[in-house]
Amino acid sequence: MDSTLTAPLVTPNRKLTDLDIDDGAVTKYARAGFLSRATFSWMNPLLERGARKTIQIHDVPSLAAQHRAPSLHSRFTQNSLHDSLLVSTLWRSFWRPFLTCGLLVLIRVSVLFVGPSLIRRFTEDWERESFALVGVLAGAKLVEVVSSHQYNFQCQKLGMQMRSALITCIFQKGLRLSSASRQSHGVGQIVNYMSVDVQQISDVMLQVHTLWVVPLQMTVAVLILASIMGVAALAGLLVMAMAGAATLLIAWRQNGFQGKIMEARDRRMKGFNESLHNMKVIKLQGWEERFLQGVEDARSDELHWLSKYVYLTAINIFVLWLAPVAACVAIFAACIHLGVLVTPSLAFTTIATVRILQEPLRFFPQAVIAVTQAMVSLKRLDRYFWSVELDLQAVGALPAESSGAICVENASFKWDPDAEKLSLSDINMTIPHGSLVAVVGKVGSGKTSLLAALLGEMHKITGKVGVSGRTAYVAQSAWIQQGTIEDNILFGLPMDHAKYENTLQVCALVEDLGQMKLRDKTEIGERGINLSGGQRQRVQLARAVYQDCDVYLLDDIFSALDAHTGSQIFEECILGALAGKTIVLVTHQIGFLPRADSILVMRDGAIVQSGQYESLLSVGLDFESLVKIHNEALERVDDLSLVTTTSWDHDPEYSPFLESQISTNSTTPLSSSCESTASYFPPSSETLNPKPDPNPLRRPSSQSLMTPLFVTPTFESEGSLKLIEDEERATGCISGGVYKLYLTTAYGGAIALFLVFTQVVWQFFQISGDYWVAFKTSGTTVEPAQEFEALQFLAVYTELAIACVLCVLIRSTLVAFTGLLTSQKFYLKMLHGVFRAPMSFFDSTPTGRMLSRASTDQAQLDILIPILFGGVLAIGFATAGIFFVVVQVTWQILIIIVPLTWLYYSYQAYYIKTSRELTRVDAVTKAPVIHHFSETIAGLMTIRCFGQQSHFARVNMQRVDTNLSMDFHNNGANEWVGFRFEVIGMVILCVTTVFLVAIPRSLLRPELVGLSLSYVLLLNATLYNVVWLVSQLENKMVSVERIAQYSKLPSEAPAVVEQNRPPKSWPSKGTIRFKDLKLRYRPNTPLVLKGITATIKGGTKVGVVGRTGSGKSSLVLALFRLVEASSGSITIDGIDISTLGLRDLRSKLSIVPQDPTLFDGTIRSNLDPMCQYSDQEIWEVLHKCQLASIVQQLHAKLESPGSFLYVF
């Protein structure tokens, strides 16, 4: 595994140079000489390695220093001017390589028409200087081959450099985005910027020069033809110009469709990303169908615009194949009308010249489309780069000797600068150094907003804010990175063992780590999925403590902790390890307030009271009301706890207590009395019968009764220590099954067979037309053609031409239709496969992998793969047609065709082994870039607070370099084989012309010489194109392979079991019975529930307690069947839940997750995703949850975006 993919989460910030990578690991291109670069021989070592073994990431050399992300990002930012367009910055940064590419293509064009120009000399001046003409032709072809492949490679290298610079800039812009800007773009949309828009800008570099090269080629072609036939050549020019105008019009329409496609794709990716991040909540609530439908609706909209786009592409292809044929017809008609003799030399010079134009003309619309797509992407990125950033001057730095560690004067703030209402108003406070200040208030009063304002995360409207020293921040919702616990705590700092051990102790992590086999080396899954809510909170608290900052901003850190742990951390960490630090503690734990130096009371975004505990109580008002409400809530909870202890009935035949059956780590036996369950926590009688206590810290908070849910345990077995599995990657050839699956998905492959038949007919008509030209012009070298013969010649040629282009129209339309249908079927299978996958799949699969398939891979299936299949079909038959005609005329070339064909396929087999694996590892290394960005955006406030932006930017650059190294060497491999194939084609061309010159005139007529040369001149391009298209198709079929993997994922149990559906009134009582319930998370892992037998009576309130890892969450997951029981049963009101469909089961249960989740959409859609309840019922729920007053303040009430609630 490449080091850049397994590097620590953050590493020391330093500039990346050649010293970072051993000289032997740097690409051979960096030190290659002229001949090696010209022939791509610098690729030989990697290709040899790929031929011997399956290429892995570490086998691919690193990029040269000047091509790595740090160097390119530095160049880009140095050339970026304030408020300048992205395209102008790209020009200033990369104009030299851009012009170099233009020079290379100009050299290629200058020798491109040497071959057609020589046809007339070969057919008319048969014997004079013939072998000299062969030498001229060979030299011109060699220059063309070298310049062509250098142009391709240099354009691709330029695109790679732009891609590297843009991805790193997008990432670093994300680090600076304001909160409002982050919400307006969304993670899914920014992922599209990185994966789709940047790729389109990169790809256009290979095609942008086509926009001026094609008109230049047309001009040269007309001049050549005009020198032979005079003004008749203008007829061909007129036809070509009309075709060019048509393609531009089509491209203009496609440009509009492309924008619509990107907007719909953004919505689809946003919905898909949201579903992936919240899949556990979605499955627990039984909402898969609703969220699946939302993604499908966005896909339907995308498909609507895609269909318009691809059908226009089919029309464009038809126009471009029509253009050269129509041009030939127009030129011949003009010659006949003007009395110009149509000789074999004139006819085949015309055909050869126009067909050379056919290739660039065929790519011209693709170039126009690519440029228009890139323009759309540039505009989208401009909007992103112009997004509002965080104001770095919003919070000033106070000197160490200042009177206060935090000073705020007359400050007002907004989350969204365009919002009418202030989020915080008239904030005035001075917090002395080393003081502990508690911030309290009702939900939505602005406590979290106050901390965000102190971090500079809000837009400051008025006033001043100053903070002295370094600031640490602990968020209310824990942000944990994928990696080890140690990595998360160190967070880029070097290891200090004494400080580290003390941090673990004061954050109450020692006991938890003792239960894990790898202790702090335990791998944490994405977003900390295998830790409880309390563990996640303590890990991020430990991260802040280890940073040893001056000011600590703690946002409700006790909400996820039980009373005992919370009290321990308050004493040992807040009052102990952080003694002397300035602490601002947002909390709902009233019991901790007497120990605070000062208390701030907030209401409606303002500080309404401040002072010490006793003084605030004596004043009354808001603070007294908060304390009173809290105490009343505790009394109600304590009353309920008296009932709870009697509500668990156990069967004497089985182990008497649930805890004794669940716990896998505790060595202390539990007694058989109900009271022992309650005495798991230190407070005993006071817990059940609360009395006034002078020390409020002894009173457990209401939050302590909530059990952390959604925990995937850390397994003890050796085979399961790796939580995040390596991405599945096939090796070797793309299996025939993948091709068969793609070709037969639509109508069982019948259309594919019909397409082959259509192409055979097309090739027949094209060759027939050329033979007809040879036959009818054969007598014109002796005497002028008769008028009747000329009209017959033109009529038959026109009919054959029409038949050809009709075949092209049928082929391109069917390719577009079949490609869209196949793409949609693949996408729906993948989407349903993901949504129906068990929760273990999401726990072990980073979101980036799934997003990569849904964005980059799906984009390949939507447009590119159908075009490649159509291209392979067309160019493959065209190549076969060339060999058929040439062998008919000069069968002698079979002497060299046989060995050259063997060499051809040997090169192909040798090359494809490496190219295919490079494409696969390229796809594998893209996902870490996306995942790292998604993870970074989620923890942006924490990253910015600790000043770790540069570290995260460097990790991003390392991952980008790893990915682009695959792309760079894959491009090198493509040009390596393309260069050699064109050399083979050049040899065949030269040998053919030698035979044509050497064969006596009596044995070979001039028209056949012209026919053969007009075909063999195309051999270079067709040989290269057929190999390039086949190779590209095989490489892109990796996307089909990757999507097909996700369409075959293991599935959960059926959503509905028709023969066993519960009554509508079920469950009517809610009695739950566990009978010998055993559960394990994976095969061959230890049981986490070991034969539980117990009954919970309907209507009772039961608390489940136990140490971390004892099985509390596993019990809940078994109840919802997120993990299926290994044996035993659970019945609810007499029905075995294992016999029910999952939707029937989960829709009848309800759960309140510890981590709050708000989905994209309105407040109404968040409360009632299935649209089952009325406004009145929704308002009643809001009143019960004390949220009605907050929602009523919003302009659109229930229709307001749910994200508005995040700021309260």
pLDDT digit string (tens) for 579-598?
989 999 998 888 888 888 99
In this predicted structure, the answer to whether residue 147 has a pLDDT above a threshold of 90 is yes
Angle 662-663-665 (CA atoms, 0-180°, nearest 5)?
155
Classified as helix, coil or strand, 468 is strand
Looking at residue 995, what is its pLDDT? 76
User: Which position has the higher pLDDT, 675 or 1079?
Assistant: 1079
Q: What is the mean pLDDT of residues 215-235?
A: 82
First to last CA, the chain: 44
Q: What is the DSSP string of 545-606?
A: HHHT-SEEEEESTTTTS-HHHHHHHIIIIIIIITTTSEEEEE---GGGGGGSSEEEEEETTE
Helix 865-889 vs helix 1019-1047: crossing angle, to nearest 10: 150
What pLDDT score was predicted for residue 715? 39
Q: Name the one residue in this structure whose structure tokens are 């406590």.
A: 447
Report, as an integer, the average pLDDT of 959-982: 90
Predicted pLDDT of residue 1203:
60
The pLDDT > 90 percentage for the chain reads 17
**For the chain, how many helices (H) and strands (E)?**
43, 17
Q: Is the pLDDT of residue 179 over 70?
A: yes
SS3 312: helix
| CB-based burial, 1091-1106: b 16+ in 10 Å, e otherwise | bbbbebeeeeeebbbb
Please indicate whether residue 553 or residue 1025 has the higher confidence score (pLDDT). 553
Q: In this structure, what is the dihedral angle of CA atoms 558, 562, 563, 564, given to the nearest 10 degrees? A: -110
CA-based max dimension of the chain: 124
Alpha-carbon distance 978 to 899, whole Å?
Answer: 18
pLDDT at 476: 85
CB atoms within 10 A of CB 747: 13
Average pLDDT, integer, range 1015-1020? 74
Residue 16: is its pLDDT beyond 60?
A: no
- In this prediction the pTM is 0.70
- pLDDT higher than 80, residue 798: yes
Closest-CA residue to 299 (of 1012, 829, 865, 677): 829
CA distance 809 to 1050: 42
Q: What is the pLDDT of residue 211?
A: 86
For residue 680, what pLDDT is reported? 28
What would the 3-class secondary structure string for 114-139 be? HHHHHHHHHHHCCCCCHHHHHHHHHH
The pLDDT, as a whole number, for residue 362 is 66
Task: Identify the helix (H) or strand (E) that includes residue 461.
Answer: strand 459-468
CA distance 273 to 266: 10
pLDDT at 898 over 50: yes
DSSP structure string for 1071-1083? -EEEEEEEE-SST
Average pLDDT over residues 109-128: 69
Please give the average per-residue pLDDT across 961-989, as a whole number: 88
Whether the Cβ atoms of residue 61 and residue 22 lie closer than 8 Å to each other: no
Cα gap 654→1075, rounded to integer Å: 9
The mean pLDDT of 1189-1195, rounded to a whole number, is: 76
In the chain, list all ranges with CATH 3.40.50.300.
Answer: 1058-1146
Give the best-scoring range by mean pLDDT among 62-66, 365-369, 649-653, 996-1000.
62-66
Confidence of residue 122 (pLDDT cuts 50, 70, 90): low
Confidence check: pLDDT of 642 > 80:
no
Distances (CA, A) of 515 to 388, 526, 639, 665: 46, 20, 34, 7
pLDDT computed for residue 99 by the predictor = 95
Instruction: Note the pLDDT of residue 1195.
Output: 72
Mean pLDDT on 414-427: 84
Please tell me which residue, 458 or 516, carries the higher pLDDT value.
Answer: 458
- Which range, of 634-643, 762-771, 893-902, 999-1008, averages the lowest pLDDT? 634-643
- So what's the pLDDT on residue 871? 84
d(CA 389, CA 944) in angstroms, rounded, equals 13
CATH number for the domain formed by residue range(s) 1058-1146: 3.40.50.300
pLDDT, averaged across the chain: 79
Whether the per-residue pLDDT at 780 is higher than 70: the answer is no
Residue 729, C-beta contacts closer than 8 angstroms, at least 6 positions apart: 920, 921, 924
Please check whether residue 605 is in contact with residue 611, taking contact to mean a CB–CB distance below 8 angstroms: no
Order of strands, edge to edge, in the sheet holding 436-441?
471-474, 551-555, 582-586, 436-441, 598-603, 606-611
**Range of lowest pLDDT (138-152, 884-898, 1053-1067):** 884-898
Q: Which of 302-311, 382-391, 693-702 has the lowest mean pLDDT?
A: 693-702
- CATH 1.20.1560.10 segments of the chain: 3-387+735-1047
Q: Do 361 and 240 form a contact (C-beta atoms < 8 A)? A: yes
Structural element, H or E, at residue 842: helix 839-844
Give, for 148, the enclosing helix (H) or strand (E): helix 130-176
* pLDDT for 411 beyond 60: yes
Over residues 1153-1178, the pLDDT tens digits come to: 766 777 877 888 888 887 788 888 88
Q: What is the mean pLDDT of residues 166-184?
A: 86
- Other Cβ atoms less than 10 A from the Cβ of 99: the count is 10
List, in order, residues 6 or more apart from 461 with CB less than 8 Å away: 412, 413, 414, 422
Which pLDDT value is given to residue 156?
Answer: 93
Q: Between residues 254 and 806, which one has the greater pLDDT?
A: 806
Mean per-residue pLDDT, 1026-1041 = 82
* Confidence band of 537 (pLDDT split at 50, 70, 90): confident
As its CATH architecture, domain 3-387+735-1047 has Up-down Bundle (1.20)
Per-residue pLDDT band for 701 (boundaries 50, 70, 90) equals: very low
- Confidence band for 526, pLDDT divided at 50, 70 and 90: low
Q: What is the pLDDT of residue 783?
A: 45
